[in-house]
Amino acid sequence: MPPPRRILCIGHSALDRIYRIEAFPPEPTKVRALEHVEAGGGMAANAAVAIARLGGKAELWSRVGDDLVGQTIKTGLRSEKVDVRYVQAFEDARSSTSAIIVDDRGERLIIGQRDTGMPSSTDWLPLERVGEMHAVLGDVRWLEGLRAVFSRARAEGVPTILDADLGAREVLPEILELTDYAIFSRQALRDFCGHPADAPDLGPALDKVLALGPLHAGVTLGEIGYRWHEKGALGDILTGHVPAPKVDVIDTTGAGDAFHGAFTLMLAEGHSTHVCATVAAEVAARKCTRLGSRVGLPRRSEVRSLAELK
């Protein structure tokens, strides 16, 4: 195993309350839950846990409220050996929570609550520490923090990986100028590029993202796997795809977060894009075999594609 790589994750942390049901009803009614868990959530936070489970040194910069939920979020991250020194608890702010309903096929409905009054200032961030990192991973839930950290990473020559999810379409072009690896969900890529839902080829959308600055543009496609386009050394466009391992899906919540975390760590360890994507796809698939965004995350010794590298 290589020496632990230091990864900074900047963005969202939350507390999820997840209910598994047999099927979504055709109309509003009462439904009995087959199972219920309360677990840590949030894109950057989940990715940090994935990185820590795989042997990386994950540090999370995030915002929570100075409330019981915020304390629970930080306690859960500490238990996973994530550095939370810069998870800032703001007085009179409310920590993010989500209610997640999952059916027997693993599909889910997410109802999220975020405090729109949460302070957005970045003057408390220790930006001088960015240069100590091997890679920076950010989501779009705290744009001021993302801009500040990605700008510093670009100046320091630290690779940046963007979790490009829904909700930031208007500002994404300026963020992509600071991004080395842009990884979208399928819905977010279509939304950003105006790609019709019935158009099967996402290649033009990936090329559009590359034209905005990143070296690599990829899209997670669930059971289909991961597809990417990236700039070659001669100015050409290289393409690739890795399939998703076949698993019995219980819950897809947090699968994208797991993918981003694993991809970032593998990149920081110096692996090829194909290896990064293969490992990330396996980690995301294994996460889907358990209820909740973190319980199914594997340890490094459990990842078959990593063992095959030896």
pLDDT digits (tens, 9 = 90+) for 116-143: 889 999 999 999 999 999 999 999 999 9
Per-domain residue ranges for the chain? 6-307
6-307 adopts what CATH topology?
A: UDP-N-acetylmuramoyl-L-alanine:D-glutamate ligase (3.40.1190)
Q: Given pLDDT bands bounded at 50, 70 and 90, which one contains residue 211? A: very high
Q: Is 147 left (phi over 0), alpha (psi -120 to 50) or beta?
A: alpha
Are 127 and 155 in contact, with CB atoms under 8 Å apart? no
Q: Is the dihedral of CA 187, 122, 91, 118 positive or negative?
A: negative
What order do you get walking across the sheet with 226-231 strand by strand?
A: 83-90, 57-65, 6-11, 135-139, 160-164, 181-185, 216-220, 226-231, 237-242
Query: What is d(CA 84, CA 70) in angstroms, rounded to the nearest whole number?
Result: 12
In this prediction, residues 255-264 reach a mean pLDDT of 97
pLDDT value at residue 184? 96
pLDDT value at residue 310? 64
In this prediction, residues 151-180 reach a mean pLDDT of 94
> Any idea what DSSP says for residue 170?
T
Q: Given pLDDT bands bounded at 50, 70 and 90, which one contains residue 3? A: confident
Q: What is the pLDDT of residues 227-255, one digit of tens each?
A: 999 999 888 999 999 999 999 999 999 99
Q: What is the pLDDT of residues 49-105, one digit of tens each?
A: 999 999 999 999 999 999 999 999 999 999 999 999 999 999 999 999 999 999 988
Average pLDDT of the chain, as a whole number: 94
Which residue type, as a one-letter code, is found at position 243?
A: P
Cα–Cα distances (Å) from 235 to 175, 180, 229, 231, 238, in that order, read: 22, 15, 12, 6, 9
pLDDT value at residue 233? 86
In this prediction, residues 216-221 reach a mean pLDDT of 96
User: Model's pTM, two decimal places?
Assistant: 0.95
